Amino acid sequence: MKYNFVDNKNRKLMTGAEVCVQAAFDAEAKMMYGYPITPATEVFTGWIKRGGAYLQTEDEIAAGFAICGAILAGQKAFSATSGPGHILMQDAMSMAEGMRLPFVLIVGQRGGPSSGTVIYSQQEVILSCFGGNGEGLRLVYSPSSLKELYQLTRQAFNDAWQYRFPAIVLTDGYMLKTRGVVSLEELKIENIPPHQLVPEDKVTHWQNIYTFEDDLYYEINSAKEDFHKIADEIAKAEKYLTADAEILLVAHGIVGAVAKEAVQELRKVGIKAGMFRPITLRPFPKKELDKVCGWESVKKVVVIESALGQLARIVRDQLAPEIDVSFEYLQKPGLGIEVEEIVKFVNK
């Protein structure tokens, strides 16, 4: 047997949680507020073990508002949570959206509704993108590998502090708990430094509640415009063999990585498959999706996810209405999806 051996220089065995912790340290985050919940606990304990400053609050609501407070004082603070904890965290996340606070949250999706399973799902997509009483003006990144998890966690801190929107790194139990091989040495990423949002030397009145409807309306519109201005720069997708694709697989996160392998398998049996993987779910890479789906060659879009249509809802919403393409769905709420299943589904 002949193998492609890899040089182990700069390669490390790390879990997803360890990758997140490394990224948070490298991003020069200074404080973590949180409450342990599987499968995100090891981000918290890993941070603590490595000497990161932290506070374990009584619940995720308190952790979330503590982050808002720390950020107002100019501190790079963050948290990691999952499932029911994520629901509670959305209270403060909504405030961060309203006040334009660079709130960074790592989410490890577990099964739902409610306590569901402690294991895995892709069921926190809508919650991440549109949780809270607001308009979904936040940044949501969905990594598909440990390396991308590192890159996007760094980017989440940078974009949040540069553009002043809350940011979620949307991962899942499998990704956080998996130990794999990563090389982070060659990734050189500059940090956007934090800055104090409230001056110390004078009294500032900074609202998060408005007396008149028009005031709130003005604020939301101004945030919306800012969000649209940066959307093209931040929105990203991975496209794989889309140029002549007749069947386009759309998947995000770890399922995106599986879909990519499925494309390779389908090509081997003569099926012209391609893959579109949104790397950001908010803002969504709408222009790229329109472009790919608008090609004549594309006959069918298959949206694949470990949820009952959360990604599908976003994809259909974002796709330009004049693009006429048929949809099919492979949906396994709370369950992993393997390459063979996708191949079988497409090649039926």
Partner 1 sequence: MTYKILLSGDGGQGIQLVSDMLAQAAFANGFNISQIPNYGLEQRGGVSLSFLVISDQEIAYPRFTKPDILLIMSEQARIRTEKNKNGNLILDVQDYNKKLEENNIFVKSYNIFFLGRLTKILEEKGVLKKEDVFNLLEKKLSTKMNWEENKKTWELAIRN
Report the site for partner 1 in 80-139 (rule: CB under 8 A): 117-119
In the complex, the smallest distance separating the C-beta of residue 75 from partner 1, rounded to whole angstroms, is 32
Contact between 177 and partner 1 (CB under 8 A)? yes
Q: Which residues of 276-305 are buried (b: 16+ CB within 10 A; e: fewer)?
A: bbbbbbbbbbbebbeebbebeebeebbbbb
SS3 251: coil
SS3 169: strand
In the complex, the smallest distance separating the C-beta of residue 343 from partner 1, rounded to whole angstroms, is 13
Beta carbon nearer to partner 1, 11 or 299:
11
Contact between 254 and partner 1 (CB under 8 A)? yes
Contact between 241 and partner 1 (CB under 8 A)? no
Structure tokens at 97: 């959206």
Contact between 181 and partner 1 (CB under 8 A)? yes
Q: Which amino acid is at 186?
A: E
Beta carbon nearer to partner 1, 12 or 30:
12
Binds partner 1 (CB under 8 A): choice among 127, 257, 315, 343: 257
Report the site for partner 1 in 287-306 (rule: CB under 8 A): none
Closest listed residue to residue 194, CA positions, set 71, 92, 93: 71
Residues whose CB is less than 8 angstroms from the CB of residue 35 and which lie 6 or more positions away in sequence, other chains included: 56, 57, 58, 59, 60, 62, 63, 81, 85
Binds partner 1 (CB under 8 A): choice among 260, 277, 282, 286: 260
Provide the CA 255 distance to its chain's centre, in angstroms.
Answer: 13
Please identify, among the stretches 74-82, 159-167, 229-237, 337-345, the one whose residues bind partner 1 according to the rule CB under 8 A: 337-345
Quick check: 112 and 49 in contact, CB under 8 A?
A: no
In the complex, the smallest distance separating the C-beta of residue 118 from partner 1, rounded to whole angstroms, is 7
Using CB under 8 A, list all residues that contact partner 1: 1, 3-8, 11, 13, 38-39, 117-119, 144-145, 173-174, 177-181, 254, 257-258, 260-261, 336, 338-340
